[in-house]
A and B are shown apart, each in its own frame.
Chain A
């Protein structure tokens, strides 16, 4: 229960905000096996706090993809036997690839994720709002929760979730986020505990902290499927998933996500960049993918391998230059090589009637060169 109410952070507490956030970002993204005893302690505490019986089995899987495919088998095996042993994981693994994803929803039943997660969050949240003034919590939220959220959830977790979602669709449900959800509530709840010396909802705070030891976990009334931590995480200097020589994030089962400065790209582009020819890169229909492809290929290679010609150049780099590129099946393809408001290189395909890069960009918005006069580009 409450021991004191914080109305303002001290200088020391304020200066500790960044340190605390950075420590949680680093902790959430550590490349190492999960300390399973800690994770399982946290998961069991979630059940206890929610007033649920202890799960009969906690089954670890070596990655998010295999976790999702394994869920129906785990459910079936746990239902079939109250004596679930460590062999379950092996049995499941052997059968993973025989399963089809639409079995998951039908077979994994009696999920309690909302009940489990809500109780811990509610306890921590209720206590903090009782004991910390709004403006203090807003400060902590902005400098701890949001920082961890930005670099762990947005830049890493969401990319992986989206990739898995693209493969298994609506089956990607009913989970608790583990390390990917470190920003809520573990990071800020432990700030109040460790930096401010507050003692509220101690069991819930500890459970939240322990449960970030793993990645996703899927709770049901009888059992939990838990995803191991990634064994490899590579990011660029802005914290975005990025690797030029392998998966940007990868799990022990080999499944991973390939990214180029935060943009998910086909695995082949990274592992076999020789297959990504200039024409393939420039022919991408998604501008995001095309700019990534162009960056991977590199303009020197494009210029070296394809006949190109500069038609016109604007002194403003945000306008760029108009090029003629001979693409297979599309000779004299015109494109504008420019940079967008974020500084990212962008290639915009255009028509052969264009005489200047400014005219081409203006035309891309349905305007004349004279009408196109942005005072700012972001």
Chain B
């Protein structure tokens, strides 16, 4: 599936990607796992991830629903492809260009309170 290049903002399933200009001061660098940065875990294994080439990931200790990416010298136009690992109803890949990006997880308001959307 050909990735769609995004300029400022896009949604891939239950995550939203926004271009930002700087990293929040409280952010902490996170290491990849098995060569990949998983930006949104799924209980069913249908993660949203990027290959960790030319990609740095940062987390916000105060907000587990947000993380940040820095693209520099990635394999595709200096950026990298955000992939949804689900064999069916796959959300199309997105190409994130060089610079800073914010990833937001979606939540919903249930009778029990706000919780992450489990897509």
Using a CB–CB cutoff of 8 Å, the interface residues on chain A facing chain B are: 150, 154-155, 158, 238, 240, 261-263, 283, 285-288, 327, 329-330, 333-334, 340-342, 344, 348-351, 364-367, 372-378
- Whether the pair B12, A286 counts as a contact (CB closer than 8 A) is no
Choose, from B23-31, B33-41, B49-57, B103-111, the stretch at the interface: B103-111
29 contacts between A and B (CB under 8 A): A150-B87, A154-B87, A155-B88, A240-B88, A262-B87, A263-B89, A285-B118, A288-B119, A327-B111, A341-B92, A344-B89, A348-B117, A364-B106, A365-B16, A365-B104, A366-B65, A367-B16, A367-B104, A374-B9, A374-B11, A375-B8, A376-B4, A376-B6, A376-B10, A376-B11, A377-B10, A378-B11, A378-B12, A378-B92
Give CA–CA (A261, B86) in the complex, Å.
Answer: 13
Contact A330 B104 (CB under 8 A): no
Give Cα A350–Cα B7 distance, bound, in whole angstroms.
Answer: 28
Q: For B106, give the chain A residue with the smallest CB separation.
A: A364
- Across the interface, which residues of A come within 8 angstroms of B93, CB to CB? 378
B89 contacts A366, C-beta separation under 8 Å: no
A residues near B4, Cβ cutoff 8 Å: 376, 378
User: Which of the residues A158, A340, A378 comes within 8 Å of B10, measured between beta carbons?
Assistant: A378
Report the minimum CB–CB distance from A281 to chain B (whole Å).
14
Q: Is the interface of A mostly helix, strand, loop or mixed?
A: loop
Q: Is the CB of A378 within 8 A of B91?
A: yes
B118 partner, pick from A283, A288, A330, beta carbons under 8 A: A288
Known: A349-B108, A375-B10, A378-B13. A286 touches B118 (CB 8 A): yes
Minimal beta-carbon separation of B40 from chain A (angstroms): 12
A340 touches B6 (CB 8 A): no
Complex Cα gap A329–B44 (Å): 28
Q: A158-B87, A285-B118 are in contact. Are A377 and B11 (CB under 8 A)?
A: yes
Residues of B within 8 A of A (CB): 4, 6-14, 16, 43-44, 65-66, 84, 87-94, 104-111, 115, 117-119
The answer to whether B119 and A375 have CB atoms under 8 Å apart is: no
Give CA–CA (A189, B109) in the complex, Å.
Answer: 52
Contact across chains for B118 and A378 when beta carbons are under 8 A apart: no
A341:B119 contact, CB within 8 angstroms: no
From A330, which residue of chain B is reached at the shortest CB distance? B111
Decide: A365 and B106 in contact? CB cutoff 8 A. yes
A285 touches B110 (CB 8 A): yes
A-B contact count (CB 8 A): 101
Q: Which residue, of B87, B90, B107, has the highest number of chain A Cβ atoms within 10 A?
A: B87
Asked whether A342 lies within 8 Å of B117 as measured between CB atoms, the reply is no
* Least CB distance, B91 to chain A, in whole angstroms: 5
In-complex Cβ contact of B110 among A263, A349, A375 (8 A)? A349
Q: Which 10 interchain pairs have the tightest Cβ spacing?
A: A154-B87, A262-B88, A378-B92, A330-B111, A351-B109, A377-B11, A349-B108, A365-B16, A286-B118, A378-B91
Instruction: Give the residue among A263, A340, A348, A364 with the most B Cβ atoms within 10 A.
Output: A364
- Do A262 and B108 contact each other (CB < 8 Å), given the known contacts A288-B119, A374-B16? no
Output the nearest chain A residue to B46 by Cβ-Cβ distance.
A288
> Which residue in B9, B104, B110, B117 is a CB contact (below 8 Å) of A373?
B9
Q: How far is the CB of B106 from chain A (nearest CB, A)?
A: 5
Name which of A154, A373, A375, A376 has the most chain B CB atoms within 10 A of its CB. A376
Q: Which residues of B contact A351 (CB under 8 A)?
A: 109
- Nearest CB of chain A from residue B7's CB, rounded to whole Å: 6
B108 partner, pick from A288, A350, A378, beta carbons under 8 A: A350
- Give CA–CA (A228, B106) in the complex, Å: 43
A344 to B11, CA, bound (A): 14
Question: In the docked arrangement, what's the CA distance between A329 and B65, Å?
Answer: 28
Residues of A within 8 Å of B105, CB to CB, are: 365
7 further A-B contacts with Cβ under 8 Å, apart from A263-B89, A341-B92, A372-B16, are: A261-B89, A287-B108, A287-B119, A329-B111, A350-B109, A364-B108, A374-B16
A350 to B106, CA, bound (A): 11
A-chain residues with CB within 8 Å of residue B115 when the two chains form the complex? 285
Residue ID in chain A nearest B13 by CB atoms? A340
Closest to B45 in A: A162
Instruction: Give Cα distance in the complex from A375 to B17, angstroms.
Output: 10
* Bound form: Cα–Cα A190–B109 in Å: 53
Most buried by A among B84, B92, B108, B119: B108
- B-chain residues with CB within 8 Å of residue A327 when the two chains form the complex: 111
Tell me which of B10, B13, B89, B92 contacts A262 (CB under 8 A): B89
Q: B7, A375: Cβ atoms under 8 Å? A: yes
Q: How far is the CA of A368 from the CA of B110 in the complex (A)?
A: 19
